Amino acid sequence: MVALAILVVALLPANVTATNYAVGDDSGWTNRYDYQAWAKNKVFKAGDMLTFNYPKGAHNVFIVNATSYADCIIPPPSEAYTSGHDMIGLMVPGQMWFICGVGDHCAEDKQKLAINVTYS
């Protein structure tokens, strides 16, 4: 999945201002961090990328829909990003939702991120 995301981004039209955002900055992808505050003043554009950094095995990343985001419905394990350094391309404009599927991290620790992707 990571390789595919990178490949697709590489095939997008040139976006000279593409940005790779480290989710949570130096805190990475973790429990009890306010990801909405982190995202609040950022403008995510199609062609940009998010990198989720965490100790491999401690967390994971799922791309989900609004309902799964709100209710912390964890998708099948096969859909998880698990490398600990997961780079996910923002392909198209619109809302995107991400959650951690480990334990109760989403529901209890608010390990979730919602962003709006704009046209580049």
Segment 49-108, which members bind Cu ion (CB under 5 A)? Answer: 59, 100, 102, 105
Nearer to Cu ion, 31 or 120 (CB): 31
DSSP symbols for 91-114: -SSEEEEEE--STTHHHHH--EEE
To Cu ion, the closest distance from the beta carbon of 96 in angstroms equals 18
Rounded to 5°, angle at Cα 100 from 19 and 107: 130
> Among 68, 74, 111, 113, which residue interacts with Cu ion (rule: CB under 5 A)?
111
Spatial strand order in the sheet of 112-118: 44-45, 112-118, 94-99, 62-64
How far is Cα 11 from Cα 57, in angstroms, rounded to an integer? Answer: 30
Nearer to Cu ion, 9 or 23 (CB): 23
How far is Cα 11 from Cα 6, in angstroms, rounded to an integer? Answer: 9
To Cu ion, the closest distance from the beta carbon of 120 in angstroms equals 30
The burial class, CB within 10 Å (0-12 / 13-18 / 19+), for 9 is buried
To Cu ion, the closest distance from the beta carbon of 108 in angstroms equals 10
Nearer to Cu ion, 53 or 111 (CB): 111
How many residues contact Cu ion, by CB under 5 A?
A: 5
Segment 21-60, which members bind Cu ion (CB under 5 A)? Answer: 59
Residues engaged in binding Cu ion (CB under 5 A): 59, 100, 102, 105, 111
